[in-house]
Structure 1
Amino acid sequence: MQAEDSEAWVLASRVGPVARIHLNRGDARNPLGAEMVQALSAAVGEASGQSGVRVILLTAAGPAFSAGGNLGNLGDRLAAAAGPDGRDPIAAGNRRYGEFLTQLVNVPQVTVACVQGAAMGGGAGLACAVDIAVGSPEARFGFPEAAIGLVPGQILPFVAARLGLPAARRLVLTGRRIDAAEAHRIGLLDYVADSHQALGALTRQVLESVVATAPQASACTKRMLGRLPVAPLQASGALQGYLDEAAELFAGQMRSEAMEGVSAAREKRPARWNEAGELSALDLA
């Protein structure tokens, strides 16, 4: 792993047929803001164009894989002026993540994520978008967007494609977090290591299995998988139209309910719309 540039958003390296892309903001839990998404997109584009690369491996620094979207600069984002086309800049920024995930699922190489800790929101979506996800017992997943007034529209097609609609509904509509064992049970994780220390060895075994397959057969098989009716219309105009609409919904929520939701989360209090306390009177006997 390259370590000479501690300021880089991602670090890219290559060992034989494996191109590794390392999220490099561990101190901030690897937020998926504009700079990180741009760096990820550039690194994936470069890796996918290199001759002999069979696998693109995503890893992350620090205790968390990714905490998801960066809401620390909410005020600046709300105040940003519309672009020359009049489009809401929040919608445009949100849409770029869907563009990156579409890019990721369409590369010919097999994509693998090594999830060492929490993957929330867009981070969980990233784990869902790869071909194979490997996790440590400390891995945790959740989709907290609706709880803070947002819509996880850019990641929903990829989450539903991996988990199926019932599990996707359950997770995104409740915001409940799940551990590695539950993630493995529902298919979010393909493999779970016995311990944090064993994660590297397990990931290496998965990589060895991938590169042991015939290169053209592997690429063709992946392409055909993407064309199955159960796939999230990965390369189709229908998916792009959906993601465009989702970005506008996200921007609308950011400018309305999310203002209260994010404030409540920061202040560690229930949001004003949260009526869970009243459920104590509900008799379910």
Structure 2
Amino acid sequence: MDTATTSASAAGPVRVTRRDAVLHIELNRPEARNPLGPDTVAALDAAVREGGADDAVRVLLFTASGDAFSAGGNLANMQDRLGAPPGSDGRDPIAAGNRLYGDFLARLCASPKVSVAVVQGHAMGGGAGLICACDISVGLAGARYGFPEAAIGLVPGQILPFVVARIGVPAARRLILTGQRIDGIEAHRIGLIDYLAHDAAELADRTSALLSGVLGCGPSASIETKRLLRQVAQPQAGAALASYLDEAAGVFAHQMRTEAVEGVAASRARRKPQWAVPAPRLTH
């Protein structure tokens, strides 16, 4: 693929480049570990819409610049978010903002184009959720994955349907309710990552082979297969998914205003939150 057009500034949070049939969507804030703030989510959503509307595009390829794939949601402006007034509809602005990520993931899942995530570094929270929402993923063995929301008093409600659809309820329950981080080898074992690479060269080779495989399939066959897969593999879709994501956004906002105040403060101070108590040592 030697022809390319760029549709976003290299200085923006997301860099979008089309190379023939592949729309390359690159998270582009490496200095902050590619956080998923409102500007980034809006740019990701616009890129997915762009790819979906372009008949020449057959693959949405997600990558990230820097050492991390994505640190997840951006809590750097937490105090500003807590102080923001309700919207004109009276809705909590935190809930409204959180809900936008669920909209994006639902749109990505519903896209007729095949989505591929290439994971070169750590993916946490919403970053891991983005991987789960993609059709196929390949990642480095040394990357780390996890869902740290509950450990700081939050709930990963917007990504939960997509996480469960990819790795199942038992694995989702275990990772989210313990805050455990896992490496790429374990992520591959449980199905969070489809293909594993042990260095950058192997990651590039596996990505090229994966793209060749996808682009070797009939375009209409791929679109129709994705449509049918959504019917059999995603029982929670359409109005049911929208209702769930609305409720989850409200739960997120409540947690942000209660437990997460302490949880985020503790994380920044590198201490245990007040609710963390010592685990008893079990003896026989």
3-state SS of 1:164 partner:
helix
Number of equivalent positions: 280
Give the distance between the partners of 1:14 and 1:3, measured in 2 at CA.
Answer: 8
What is residue 256 of structure 1 aligned with on the other side?
A: 258
Q: CA 1:4–1:41 in 2, change beyond 3 Å: closer, same or farther?
A: closer
- 1:142 aligned to 140, 146, 168, which one? 146
Distance in 2, Cα, partners of 1:182 & 1:31:
24
Alignment partners' CA distance in 2, 1:200 and 1:223? 29
Question: Aligned to 1:198, what secondary structure does the other structure show?
Answer: helix
1:17 aligns with 2:21: yes
Which residue identity is paired with 1:48? Answer: G
Check whether the contact 1:101–1:126 (CA below 8 A) recurs between aligned residues.
Answer: yes
Residue 113 (structure 1) aligned to one of 117, 120, 126: 117
Partner of residue 237, structure 1:
239
Checking the alignment, whether the CA contact within 8 Å between 1:161 and 1:232 is kept in structure 2 is no
Output the amino acid matched with 2:258.
Answer: S
Shift of 1:4: 8.6
Secondary structure, aligned partner of 1:22: strand
User: Which of 68, 72, 77 is the equivalent residue of 1:64?
Assistant: 68
Supply the distance in 2 between the matched residues of 1:218 and 1:24 (Cα, whole angstroms). 29
Matches within 5 A, 1:49-128: 49-128=53-132
The CA distance in 2 between the partners of 1:76 and 1:37, in whole Å, is: 18
Instruction: Provide the rounded CA distance (Å) in 1 between the counterparts of 2:130 and 2:62.
Output: 9
SS at match of 1:197: helix
Picking from 261, 269, 272, the partner of 2:271 is 269
Q: Is the 8 A contact 2:21 2:56 kept in 1?
A: yes
Task: Point out the more displaced range, 237-246 or 191-200.
Answer: 191-200
Conservation of the 8 A alpha-carbon contact between 1:122 and 1:155: yes
Q: Which residue of 1 aligns with 2:249?
A: 247
Deviates more, 1:36-45 or 1:190-199: 190-199
Contact 1:227 1:233 in 2 (8 A): no
CA shift, 1:266, in A, is: 0.2
Counterpart-to-counterpart distance in 1, 2:235 and 2:14: 27
TM-score, normalising length: structure 1: 0.95
Q: Tell me, in whole angstroms, the C-alpha distance in 1 between the residues paired with 2:193 and 2:172.
A: 14
What residue identity is the alignment partner of 1:36? T
Change in CA separation of 1:3 and 1:129 when aligned onto 2, cut-off 3 Å = closer
Which residue of 1 is the match for residue 282 of structure 2? 283
Tell me, in whole angstroms, the C-alpha distance in 2 between the residues paired with 1:29 and 1:3: 22
Give the 3-state SS of the residue equivalent to 2:123 in structure 1: strand
The question of whether the paired residues in 1 share the 8 Å contact of 2:117 and 2:131 is answered with yes
CA deviation map 1:46-104 (0-9, x unaligned): 11111121110001011000000000000000000111000000000000000000000
Aligned partners of 1:73, 1:41: CA distance in 2, in Å?
Answer: 21
**Aligned partners of 2:7 and 2:16 also within 8 Å:** no
The one-letter code of the counterpart of 1:10 is V
The code of the aligned residue for 1:34 comes to: P
Deviation at 1:138, TM superposition (A): 2.2
> Deviation at 1:3?
10
Contact residue 157 and residue 232 of structure 1 kept, 8 A: no
Superposed, 1:164-183 pairs within 5 Å as 164-183=168-187
* TM-score, structure 2 as length reference: 0.96
The 4+ residue runs of structure 1 with deviation greater than 3 A are 1-6
**Which consecutive unaligned segments of at least 5 residues does structure 2 have?**
none
Matching residue's letter, 1:255: R
The one-character-per-residue Cα deviations of 1:98-119 (angstroms, maximum 9, x if unpaired) are 0000000000010000000000
Q: Unpaired runs of 5+ in structure 1?
A: none
Task: Label 1:241 to 1:30 Cα distance change in 2 as closer, same or farther (>3 A).
Answer: same
Tell me, yes or no, if the aligned pair for 2:8 and 2:14 is still in contact at 8 Å: no
* Partners of 2:20 and 2:57 within 8 A in 1: yes
Query: Are the structure 2 counterparts of residues 213 and 4 from structure 1 closer, same or farther at C-alpha, using a change threshold of 3 Å?
Result: closer
Deviates more, 1:11-20 or 1:69-78: 11-20
Aligned counterparts of 2:281 and 2:30: Cα–Cα separation in 1:
43
Percent identity reads: 56
Distance 1:189 1:10 in 2: 22
